[in-house]
Amino acid sequence: MKKAVILVSGGVDSSTILAMIQKMDYEIYAISFNYLQRHRIELEKIQLFIKDYHIKLHKIINIDLRSFGGSSLTDETIEVPKYSSANELKNDIPITYVPARNTIFLSYALGFAEIIGANDIFIGVNALDYSNYPDCRPEYIKSFENLANLATAAGVQGQRISIHAPLIQMTKAEIIAAGLKLGVDYSKTISCYDPSDVGISCGLCHACHLRLKGFAENFVNDPITYL
């Protein structure tokens, strides 16, 4: 059986991918990161969510992104921007952007994949919906795939490592529609960048607005609680 590594964050995107690849012929290895993110309560949600799926192994890696700072997700002194509606979301790179985060995440996933002998890595990045993160674009994913095949013993020895970003050209509404068809229980997910200590979403940050808009466009209530 082929092995796949999937990066899971507890949010809508990676949770939907996990449901998608359940139907495929993979032994699934999940990987998550505790980077002392402001919203690290997402790690509890992930552990709850994945119980509904067949996963061979789930690793939570502790990594240090705090010592760099530079993002409102890793520096408590930088506030998470709040918006009164989704129409206010800007098209520039937001302060919630964590420099090189996806590159660091994918690098770990690559090391994990090499050790377990997996050639397929799945990541829930998305290029649409005002995300504006440079490391969520198709050309970035393609470039990392090229790197992966040069970086590893597996690549050198002629195996082909693939980085799959199946949601990259989908809107949040399309992703949620796909997940609902697959029976994803979104009540066990969280998207908020600035949740309360017990995991109640703020409803006002970039991530909350995108999520709420995605549910609204499906004429479905978002099953999680907001402040």
Site residues, a copy of itself (CB under 8 A): 59, 61-65, 67-70, 93, 97-104, 106-108, 110-112, 114-115, 134-135, 137, 139-140, 143-144, 146-148, 150-153, 155-156
Cβ nearer to a copy of itself, comparing 164 with 213: 164
Distances (CA, A) of 197 to 25, 75, 86, 138, 206: 38, 16, 24, 35, 19
Task: Output the smallest distance, CB 19 to a copy of itself, in A.
Answer: 26
Place of tokens 């809107």: 171
Q: Report how far residue 218's alpha carbon sits from residue 101's, in angstroms, rounded to the nearest whole number.
A: 30
DSSP state of 55: -
- Single-letter code of the amino acid located at 156: V
Measured torsion, CA atoms of residues 142, 192, 96, 101, in degrees rounded to the nearest 10: -40
Task: Output the smallest distance, CB 132 to a copy of itself, in A.
Answer: 9
Cβ nearer to a copy of itself, comparing 110 with 176: 110
Cβ nearer to a copy of itself, comparing 20 with 163: 163
Task: Output the smallest distance, CB 96 to a copy of itself, in A.
Answer: 12
Cβ nearer to a copy of itself, comparing 144 with 193: 144
Phi, psi of 98 (to 5 degrees): -100, 115
Task: Output the smallest distance, CB 9 to a copy of itself, in A.
Answer: 17
